[in-house]
Structure 1
Amino acid sequence: MGFHLPLIFALLSLAAVALANHAAQPAPQLYWNSVLPNTQMPRAISELLHPDSTNEEKSTNTMNAVGNGKPTDHKGKPENTVLLRVPFFYRVYDHPTDNQLHYKNVAIFFLEKDMRSGTTMNFQFPRNSNTATFLPRESAQSIPFSSNKLSEIFNHFSVKPTSVEAETIKQTIEECEAPGIKGEEIYCATSLESMVDFSTSKLRTRNVQAISTEVLEKGATMSIHKYTTMPGLKKLAGDKVVVCHKQNYPYAVFYCHAIKPTAAYVLSLKGDDGVKVKAVAICHLDTSEWNPKHLAFQILKVKPGTIPICHFLPTDHIVWVPNHKTA
């Protein structure tokens, strides 16, 4: 039996290419592929693994963590940066703030019936300007993440304790350490690996979907527009979801919370500028534990615990749901 050298060389070349591609993938992506081989990675996550290839617009207001923990721009050069806070309200049961009151004319909160085809509402799909990327879990675990270790954290990232960056870091950690409401499970994921582990453990399955809102046109503006709901509303599986919200931090951190009872939807929107959006909406079915003075009740003219309240997710947040059909 003879050797087919051309075939052998071809197979060896393919194997070498496969190994090279495997080695080129970041550790968080390798973990995703091993734990969730049948789950498509949403853009909100993939762009934090390969920012240079997926982000067309680079904000100078970033603080990206690299191996030495120094603040850098996307080219790896040190720069003076500011972490900007986006006024989106993932702690939806809290009392209203000045930022919330500023958005009273925007459909931050709405009712389930408002998602029917043909409904119009004003909305802005805000995006966190901080494009900090994921660290491998081992690297993230080596850096303190605690309000008791703030001086050590500031020193690690060469941040002055009196700076805006230091205040933002402090606020993010304090929000992560704050208790949730009854029935809510909170976890701040400091790596993609830990986000995957938390989400799959709370859903009790690795057969999951991870979905984020996507503005489908490149170069679309993030200003407020009137959006019309298009046909094709889809309710996602399960009555318990895990929602993870991008935070402002020197590396990618997500505030995740498991909420029940909750319904998640995917719907198509078309803006008055022609831009199409694949939007993810979360509907909280039990609001009895929310602050009675919350902005949602002011906008919708309803009382806590009387009717489900919904809101869209920004483009850099992720909802995790079981991957099976509902009745």
Structure 2
Amino acid sequence: MGFHLPHIFAILTLAAVALANHAAQPAPQLYWNSVLPNTQMPRAISELLHPDSTNEEKSKPEIFPLANKDYLQKGYGKGKPVQKGYGKGKPVQKGYGKRSPPSDNQLLHYKELAIFFFEKDMRPGTTMKFQFPRSSNTATFLPRESAQSIPFSSNKLPEIFNHFSLKPTSVEAKTIKETIEECEAPGLKGEEKYCATSLESMVDFSTSKLGTRNVEAVSTEVLERGATMSMHNYTTMPGLKKLAGDKVVVCHKENYPYAVYFCHAIKQTAAYVLSLKGDDGEKVKAVTICHLDTSEWDPEHLSFQILNVKPGTVPICHFISTDAIAWVPKHKSA
């Protein structure tokens, strides 16, 4: 049997292209493909992957990628009020921390918005007022090896500031300090928390806490932008999907020079994906977390004031923001 050179050449060409594509992929992408081959990567993650992220200079951005401060000050931050006692999508131990309780006017404003809501509010035809802004936190992932080479500890702050060429008195340095301190703070009773400084470590933490690599990773996505960027009245559309399991790992993006995620494993929860349509035509795939047991939450928690309920009485739900990731086990095949 003779050699068919054109056929062999075609095979070798395809193999070469495949190897080139493999080499061009960033290390975090390759790790995802090897550990989670059957899990679709959400947009909130894929947008933060770049082939040149292995370049050490990429860890020293010219512009520090801080989130929109006006938005944070309004109290919505990561899909939840950041100044009014909700921490990272969980109740804080002392109501409002160092912040003052909301004024009557602020509370009235919060009650107009779907910061917290009930499970019944996700029924088709229900309307909720909210805003899903574009995230201005553009910090990208470093490969795990690069991230591990940079200190991430309050004991190493001078070294960290020097690495990023920051003055200790700068706003950026203060943000770094606050993020690290939050990551080092003790978690709530029964909470398993971790700050992932790379995509690889986020994958490892999430799959270990769920006890499986057969997982889904989902994020809130604005599928079609509306005519304006203001608050909208959204109508819940048919097609509500309840995700598997009664435990979810939620990872919220932090303000840091490179992508760092505050992750926490939350028991006794239900996660949903629902479709929303704004009054200006905006379409959103919204990921929702419902806390089924709030009996140990601080009675001063903002959610109880907004919904006028007491701890441990009813499940309380909230959206996650467009740069947060919810990890859940996949439904088992029939």
> What TM-score comes out, normalization by structure 1 length?
0.89
Change (3 A) 1:178 1:84: farther
Cross-structure match for 2:56: 67
Any idea what SS the aligned residue of 2:270 has?
strand
- Report Cα offsets for 1:147-195 as digits up to 9, x if no partner: 1111111111111111111111111111111122122100000000000
Structure 2 residue 189 is the aligned partner of structure 1 residue 200: no
Query: How far apart are the structure 2 equivalents of 1:166 and 1:70?
Result: 15
1:108 Cα offset (Å): 0.5
Number of residue equivalences: 311
Query: How far apart are the structure 2 equivalents of 1:125 and 1:37?
Result: 30
Query: How far apart are the structure 2 equivalents of 1:220 and 1:258?
Result: 37
Unaligned runs of 5+ in 1: 53-63, 73-77
- Report Cα offsets for 1:173-222 as digits up to 9, x if no partner: 11111122122100000000000000000000000000001100158754
Whether the aligned pair in 2 keeps the contact of 1:65 and 1:133 (CA below 8 Å) is no
1:226-265 equivalent positions in 2, closer than 5 A: 226-265=233-272
Any idea what SS the aligned residue of 1:20 has?
helix
Segment of structure 1 superposing worse, 143-152 or 36-45: 143-152
Any idea what SS the aligned residue of 1:68 has?
helix
Segment of structure 1 superposing worse, 119-128 or 33-42: 119-128
Change (3 A) 1:218 1:274: closer
Segment of structure 1 superposing worse, 233-242 or 122-131: 122-131
Whether the aligned pair in 1 keeps the contact of 2:217 and 2:326 (CA below 8 Å) is yes
Query: How far apart are the structure 1 equivalents of 2:6 and 2:54?
Result: 46
Any idea what SS the aligned residue of 2:246 has?
coil
Unaligned runs of 5+ in 2: 81-87
Query: How far apart are the structure 1 equivalents of 2:181 and 2:170?
Result: 17
1:273 Cα offset (Å): 0.8
Cross-structure match for 1:56: none
Whether the aligned pair in 2 keeps the contact of 1:143 and 1:153 (CA below 8 Å) is yes
Cross-structure match for 1:19: 19
Any idea what SS the aligned residue of 1:242 has?
strand
Cross-structure match for 2:132: 125
Query: How far apart are the structure 2 equivalents of 1:10 and 1:309?
Result: 58
1:50 Cα offset (Å): 3.7
Query: How far apart are the structure 2 equivalents of 1:141 and 1:3?
Result: 50
> What TM-score comes out, normalization by structure 2 length?
0.87
Any idea what SS the aligned residue of 1:194 has?
helix
Change (3 A) 1:268 1:143: same
Segment of structure 1 superposing worse, 193-202 or 101-110: 101-110
Query: How far apart are the structure 2 equivalents of 1:26 and 1:80?
Result: 22
The share of aligned pairs that are identical, in percent, is 76
Cross-structure match for 1:37: 37
Cross-structure match for 1:58: none
Change (3 A) 1:288 1:220: farther
1:289 Cα offset (Å): 1.9
Query: How far apart are the structure 1 equivalents of 2:121 and 2:102?
Result: 21
Structure 2 counterpart of 1:156, one-letter code: H
Change (3 A) 1:221 1:134: farther
Whether the aligned pair in 2 keeps the contact of 1:69 and 1:156 (CA below 8 Å) is no
Change (3 A) 1:201 1:222: farther
Whether the aligned pair in 2 keeps the contact of 1:188 and 1:254 (CA below 8 Å) is yes
Whether the aligned pair in 1 keeps the contact of 2:64 and 2:257 (CA below 8 Å) is no
Cross-structure match for 1:109: 116
Query: How far apart are the structure 2 equivalents of 1:318 and 1:38?
Result: 17
1:305 Cα offset (Å): 1.3
Structure 2 counterpart of 1:48, one-letter code: L
Whether the aligned pair in 2 keeps the contact of 1:127 and 1:314 (CA below 8 Å) is no
Cross-structure match for 2:84: none
Structure 2 counterpart of 1:239, one-letter code: D
Structure 1 counterpart of 2:267, one-letter code: K
Change (3 A) 1:323 1:81: closer
Change (3 A) 1:100 1:264: farther
Cross-structure match for 1:92: 90
Any idea what SS the aligned residue of 1:7 has?
helix
Whether the aligned pair in 2 keeps the contact of 1:83 and 1:168 (CA below 8 Å) is no
Whether the aligned pair in 2 keeps the contact of 1:83 and 1:164 (CA below 8 Å) is no
Whether the aligned pair in 1 keeps the contact of 2:226 and 2:281 (CA below 8 Å) is no
1:106 Cα offset (Å): 1.7
Pick one of 276, 280, 289 that aligns with 2:283.
276
Structure 2 counterpart of 1:43, one-letter code: R
Q: CA RMSD in A?
A: 2.4
